[in-house]
Structure 1
């Protein structure tokens, strides 16, 4: 068994095809059967020092080595490569295959089949991946609606996709599966949404009939000085809704939040704040609190 010092440098970090390494004389099959190497997929290995549990990029690198011609990493895995993390723990790598292509099933690979133009594929850090535009198009057609909207808005906020371009792309593909859902998503899409949970909160309020509302609204005082940017707002009523992520629990953020909230109150704003637990587990109570805040302002 080779020691770490004897590992060929080009094989020390990234996954590789075992057959190719053996053919080049870098390793032998006996070496590959030693504990120094981890078999990820058929004929795909990585050195134990390069293996990182739960590293989706590592698995994208591994799966790319097995992709047939014309295929690409797609869906949420492509979004991950484009800088948008929508993945669950130990999520399989999503790939898009041409209808006639074949690929051996594996628990770490999720296969979809679809026609794909050459312009729908590109390379990202050496990996074949659907373009950001095609990635958004695919995510926006996959139910449930809230997940479709989360995916599209995350890519829009990342600025790797623009809404007019996505609308034009969809318009050229009439009759594709999931297109009615995508049209609904495009009608709701807000490029200013800054997080998946903010998107979920906004959709919850819209579905409850509490729209229209403004995303990422700048609040100024009576002298026109900037006070804060609130996640969601009804500016005419001076009501704001905020989503608080885990970072708000940090001491520095907590102090900043107190000062910010006091400034908003001094400017006449009513602010209602929610956590992920409120949105995901107590949606009715969340809607009721916002409805009450709006009612207070409209009946004054």
Structure 2
């Protein structure tokens, strides 16, 4: 029985430069053309065991090997590295290249030709990536309005950037394309929002002219023996009217989570709270339904005031 060829430790997992690996005597070009290796980009390979076709991190590692000085992974790919995954399936790696660099966009690489200062580039696990503030600045002005707010909320929530820092950065970049949108996004941003759909729900209600909501509101009740007790935290709330608005993601279908939700909702209802629950389908396809139900709830809780 033939033995599988030994894989050099340096090449076992991450993408690598083929020419450098050959020069170092780790592999030969003939080996790289064999079944044990996958060619990702010109002169960039990965071992078959480390190949995952839709693994965006693998593609970021691969693309980073090809970037010139002064370039960085940026946009949605930078957000992904910072822990905010808003990428569509099979997304290209987004990069920003110096204005003097020459590289065409491909299916795997989306190119933005714009010079970055040294202060706008940092390192993430060895990869050049735009800083948190530059990433938020770019996404907040370049994405469509709703997606821009989703991205900024998520980056704020993960503390990749702070709202005052982003505001100050914007003040020093007035006149750049999209800054008017970003300025509006900053007035709507809510670092407490925990998911993109919470942000979308909040924006739907804001755009309908409904009153501002409180995000991640803690609800307390009174127990006859224990006094003030914590009943639960709701995604969005109108505390003065005891209206809670919840986003129901797929994780709520898990048995343990579902059981906890039932107990929490029963406690909220017993304390006089009206709980409205919405899904991704509501937020994406039926925003008018959301507005109608929330408006009816407010009218019910404050009769004669709408």
For the aligned residue pairs, the C-alpha RMSD in angstroms reads 1.4
Query: How many positions carry a matched residue from both structures?
Result: 299
How do 1:163-174 residues align onto structure 2 when only pairs under 5 Å count? 163-174=163-174
Matched, 1:280 2:287: no
Matched, 1:36 2:45: no
Deviates more, 1:95-104 or 1:179-188: 95-104
- Between the aligned partners of 1:242 and 1:142, the Cα distance in structure 2 is 29
- Between the aligned partners of 1:5 and 1:29, the Cα distance in structure 2 is 15
Q: Deviations over 1:1-52 (max 9, x none)?
A: x965412111111101111111122222111111211110011011111101
Which residue is 2:212 aligned to? 212
- What TM-score do the two structures reach when normalised by structure 1? 0.96
CA apart distance, 1:280: 0.8
Aligned residue for 1:152, secondary structure, equals helix
Deviates more, 1:46-55 or 1:121-130: 46-55
CA apart distance, 1:143: 3.0
- What TM-score do the two structures reach when normalised by structure 2? 0.95
Aligned residue for 1:226, secondary structure, equals strand
- Between the aligned partners of 2:3 and 2:65, the Cα distance in structure 1 is 25
Which residue is 1:128 aligned to? 128
Matched, 1:295 2:299: yes
- Between the aligned partners of 2:112 and 2:104, the Cα distance in structure 1 is 13
- Between the aligned partners of 2:27 and 2:5, the Cα distance in structure 1 is 14
Query: Do the aligned residues in 2 keep the contact of 1:68 with 1:102 (CA within 8 Å)?
Result: no
- Between the aligned partners of 1:236 and 1:26, the Cα distance in structure 2 is 68
How do 1:36-75 residues align onto structure 2 when only pairs under 5 Å count? 36-75=36-75
How do 1:1-300 residues align onto structure 2 when only pairs under 5 Å count? 4-222=4-222, 223-299=227-303
- Between the aligned partners of 2:268 and 2:105, the Cα distance in structure 1 is 55
Cα 1:257/1:46, change in 2 over 3 Å: same
Gaps spanning 5+ residues in structure 2: where? none
Deviating 4+ runs (over 6 angstroms): none
- Between the aligned partners of 2:228 and 2:190, the Cα distance in structure 1 is 26
Cα 1:3/1:61, change in 2 over 3 Å: farther
Gaps spanning 5+ residues in structure 1: where? none
